[in-house]
Chain A
Amino acid sequence: MTTVLEKVRAGREAAGERWRGAPRWVRWVLLAAVIAFFYALPNKEFYQWLGPIPTTGSNFGQVLFMMSIYVLLAVGLNIVVGFAGLLDLGYFGFFAVGAYTVAVLTSPSSDLKTVWPWLTVLPIGVALALVSGVLLGLPTLRLRGDYLAIVTLGFAEMIRLTATSAGFLRGQRGFNQIPHPPGEHADGTPIFGVLDARPYYWLVLTLIILVVLGVRNLTRSRVGRAWISIREDEDAAQLMGVPTFKFKLWAFASGAAIGGLAGVLFAGKQNFVNNQSFELLNSIIILAAVILGGSGNILGAIVGGGLAYYLIERFRGVELFGIELYEYRFMFFGLCLIVMMIYRPQGLIANRRRAAEFKDRRKEVIVGG
């Protein structure tokens, strides 16, 4: 087992070296190919050639859409947990804030009867998630470690319970007829709808690319250095003159905003929001996804987020010896996590990156003049 693992590890490190060693244009071409692959993926003409990869028990486009939502969430949570080292157990709460903002302001079932278009509510949902992140962070981020975990856990439960019992949030009845994003095909039919998940997937994919670019720039700046120093040793960071509270709040708030964005997208796609979509389990799965992929690593978060949802969903409609495997999906997911934590606690994408990244950055500085 170990030898196989070591071979895999050696192979990956070699791949990493080759990637970093490759000329710029090669990297760009490869990156473009990977992105093109993911844009093409939901088309049947394309994925029918991919053997057992597409899910059997559910619409593959829908699965891809949810995977992309999970990737977005994992990328956001990775800022909080991975970069700043803050244990946030209630991240899904911000997702819920985004989704409910859309629901309340756009759905005809809402008491408000504003029925605004989706696009108008998008920035409002993101802003409200950000504000709730700041409000939650202000009193708690001065505390260390466990307190934050407990408070965030409480926050997510509070949101869920409010959604269940507060009359205007309509509990299980929920909000229907949430509008879709704007846009029409040439023949006048709307681009975004309930039946075809692909446009939504493409939209989220595009947003992921933008968000990742933004996060990557942040992490390579003074902000990123501050986050990593806080993660590694908060006292020392403070002694080096890092305003730790400010940067923790910043990490928390930007994570929350990304979570809210995911919620806004989800609400539009599902067309319907009720209290069933915000179980605590989701927060845990996202956290597991970040750790699975490799905490503190953007690529790791992407891989982890996509994989977490895929692993769980792949079991749908799969039978083995007459047993419906989907019933046991969380057991398999848990097993995967345990095995990972034993053999590869640092996550799928190794964290040796930072030293190399630094080298890389130096090189780029020189090359880029």
Chain B
Amino acid sequence: MAKSTNLVPHKKDVPAKAASRTSGETESSLKGTFAAVLLLGGFIILTWAGVFLLFLARQ
């Protein structure tokens, strides 16, 4: 029973416009994501540079 619940409806099975649900500006704004990935990149560069300086200091 309840076979259909086991079949995951896949987006591509549905015509694109019928499935479209993005409503307004706010929902699709990715400002925070942008800021978050920049912070992430900054963290990686800082740690990398830290150990590189240690390498140089021990040369």
A is bound by B:
no
Q: Which residues of A contact B (CB under 8 A)?
A: none
